[in-house]
Amino acid sequence: MARQDSPPTAPGRREFLCSVGALALSGCVPSADLPPGELLGMSSSLGHRLRDGDFPPPGETRRTDVLIVGGGISGLSAAWQLSRAAVDDFIVLDLENEAGGNSRAGQSAVSAYPWGAHYLPLPSSEAEYVSELLRELGVEQGRSAAGKPIYDERYLCGTPQERVYRHGLWQSGLLPHVGLASGERAQQQAFQARMEALKVLRGNDGRRVFAIPMELSSRDPAWRALDRIPFSQWLTAQGFTAPSLHWLANYACRDDYGMAHHETSAWAGLHYFACRNGEAANAAAETVLTAPEGNAWLARGLARRAVDRIVTGALAWRIEESRSHVAVDVLIGAKSVRYEARQVIWAAPVFVLPRVWGAIPQPLKAAAQAGDYAPWLTANLHLSALPEERHGAPLAWDNVLYDSPGLGYIVATHQAIRRHQAGTVLTWYRALHDMTPADGRRRLLETSREQWAGEILGELAQVHPEIRRLTTRLDVFRHGHAMRRPTPGSLWGEMRRRLVDFRSRRIALAHADLSGFSLFEEAQYRGAIAADLVRKALNGR
């Protein structure tokens, strides 16, 4: 999402955090004075039943050629790809009451708004499935004489796209630039030039060093060795010591991976900046595709080909593979149903698979359990009016707070800004990167909506003093396992390779976990690839 300066009285990180905590604990934002709202999240209580067992035996049996377990982007992409290949006998199961995973959205009288993923960068040449989907949805509307895509203006993010608040001043772009010493600005320019060079650099096998999907990146061992060190270490070794650059790197890792840059694989950190080189005939290269509901429009576009084949509120709790089929026992409501499928695509997070597949091969089980997941928090604030703009760059779609526990907020009505709507919805994000994932999940479970609301309003009041008066509703959404964490050694090591290379006669894996981090392009790619494997198996090849 994120790029700023400077009264000497502006709070530092320590004071800022203390002031936010004081607001929540001292009663400066008393619960009686908080706006109404709900505490929402993925179905953790239903998912946690897998640990306890105690499921009713199946009362009926249903049959299908392909059963897709998981209705996030990877599962919907598998269904999309099967449908495109004229494979129509499939079912998609999803634990939640609505498919879409991290790309789901909400709706109010004011606007639609995201609960998670909220943008798609312009697809690069390797992201063929993304381009095919955008053409199918009519978002890519043709090509210019120079061969560049022409995109529907409604989905191109309006300007200004981003700004950052630092030392009492809003600044445009992703890097602070006001009031910095010449040496720091020179480092920024050198870093940006290096990233531009990496976007086109190819390894000794002719592939781009950092491609997306990541599996299409160069296999050059000299570059893959970067996976073994932290991103912060690489920056320092390259002479990039400027505080603003380390802030940007840390922000980027928190934003995409839910973790700090000193914990993130250097390969993953560089991939964030160098993997995307998409272009458009009618927009700048850095423009993103977005909508008020975030990426929910993409999830709905994929789901159009599944229509009545999606079963929600369905928890797969046992898998048994035989020579003729795979039996999957599924809790739907209070009853269990057995699905017998010729092929199964596991498109749920891989850490769940060992809990439901008793005969899982041991090497696959170890790989599925090897990674960890970042906990994440999202909040949607419904405002009666836009906050008053002060101090610098005007309101943007993405508004980042420098040196803040949160990642900032996006404006759901930004794409419709010329309609002069009275109200708006701000979607606020925070990665719980400053604690262990287990502690983060524990905090998500134990913290009340009122406490979260007090902290969020306290943080935003540093920038918008009138935020409490304008907020009419504040809903909080918890993601306990938002994305797999790309720690050093996790991307090009043996464990992830086991997930990618796994082959069974009747079970295929499809999830962004196979890439080691969660991005739309990765999830779509894994789903489509698994669908192709299954289609070939159905055809006896």
Q: Average the pLDDT over 7-18 and give the result.
A: 34
pTM over cut 0.85: yes
147 in any annotated domain: no
User: Does some domain include residue 125?
Assistant: no
Q: Is pLDDT at 2 greater than 60 in this prediction?
A: no
pLDDT band for 92, please (50, 70, 90 cuts). Answer: very high
> What CA–CA distance (Å, rounded) separates 511 from 347?
5
pLDDT of residue 19 exceeding 60: no
pLDDT at 47: 67
pLDDT value at position 48? Answer: 73
Q: For residue 165, is it within any domain?
A: yes
4 shares its domain with 59: no
What is the per-residue pLDDT across 53-77, written as a single tens digit (0 to 9) for each?
A: 889 999 999 999 999 999 999 999 9
Question: Considering the domain boundaries, does residue 120 fall inside one?
Answer: no
pLDDT(416) > 90: no
CATH code for position 199? 3.90.660.10
Q: What would the pLDDT profile of 489-534 be if each residue is shown by its tens digit?
A: 999 999 999 999 998 999 999 999 999 999 999 999 999 999 999 9
Secondary structure (DSSP) of 197-228: HHHH-B-TTSSBSS-SSGGGS---HHHHGGGG
- Of 459, 484, 509, the domain-final residue: 484
Residue 29 is predicted with a pLDDT of 52
The answer to whether residues 196 and 342 belong to one domain is no
Helix residue spans in 203-262 (DSSP H): 221-224, 231-237, 243-257
Length of the chain (residues): 541
- All residues at 6 or more sequence positions from 131 whose CB lies less than 8 Å from its CB, including other chains: 123, 140, 149
366 and 235 within one domain: no
Q: Are residues 182 and 233 in the same domain?
A: yes
On whether the CB atoms of residues 55 and 336 are closer than 8 A, the answer is yes
Domain membership flag for residue 138: no
Q: Judge whether 39 lies within some domain.
A: no
Q: Summarize pLDDT for 189-237 with one digit per residue, the tens.
A: 999 999 999 999 999 999 999 999 999 999 999 999 999 999 999 999 9
Q: Is 304 helix (H, G, I), strand (E, B) or coil?
A: coil
The pLDDT-based confidence of 403 (bands split at 50, 70, 90) is: confident
Does residue 342 sit in the same domain as residue 458? no
Q: Is the pLDDT of residue 390 over 90?
A: no
Based on the fold, state whether residues 93 and 192 are members of the same structural domain: no
The residue from 484, 502, 527 where one domain ends is: 484
Domain residues for 343? Answer: 45-99+306-371+487-538
Spatial neighbors of 144 by CB under 8 A, at least 6 apart, are 150, 281
* Same domain (yes/no): 357, 502: yes
361: CATH? 3.50.50.60
Give yes or no: residues 266 and 384 share one domain.
yes
pLDDT tens digits along 433-458: 999 999 999 999 999 999 999 999 99
Residues 208 and 260 in one domain: yes
How open is the CA angle 436-526-252, to the nearest 5 degrees?
Answer: 40
Same domain, 477 and 497: no
Residues linked to residue 378 through DSSP beta bridges, in sequence order: 429, 477
**Which structure tokens are listed for 411?**
């404006």
Lowest mean pLDDT among 136-140, 416-420, 525-529, 536-540: 416-420
Output the pLDDT for position 422: 80
**133 within domain boundaries:** no
Residues 282, 222 share a domain: yes
pLDDT over 90 at 39, yes or no: yes
| Model pLDDT, residue 430 | 97
Q: What is the C-alpha separation between 318 and 354, in angstroms, rounded?
A: 10
Q: Confirm whether 139 is domain-assigned.
A: no
pLDDT greater than 70 at residue 420: no
pLDDT of residue 16: 35
Six-digit token string for 387:
């906050």
- Helix, strand, or coil (residue 211): coil
Of 467, 484, 501, the residue at which a domain comes to its end is: 484
- Is the confidence at residue 481, as pLDDT, over 60? yes
Residue 380 corresponds to which tokens in the numbers above?
A: 């949607």
Q: In percent, how much of the chain has pLDDT > 90?
A: 88
- 394 and 477 share a domain? yes
**Residue 162 predicted with pLDDT over 60:** yes
pLDDT of residue 52: 79
Q: How many domains does the chain have?
A: 2
- Helix or strand or coil: residue 194? helix
How far apart are the C-alpha atoms of 255 and 232, rounded to whole Å?
Answer: 16
Report the mean per-residue pLDDT for the chain. Answer: 92
Q: Of 12-26, 131-145, 324-338, 526-540, which gets the smallest average pLDDT?
A: 12-26
Task: Please give the pLDDT value at position 363.
Answer: 97
- pLDDT band of 296, cuts 50, 70, 90: very high
Query: 127 pLDDT band (50/70/90 cuts)?
Result: very high
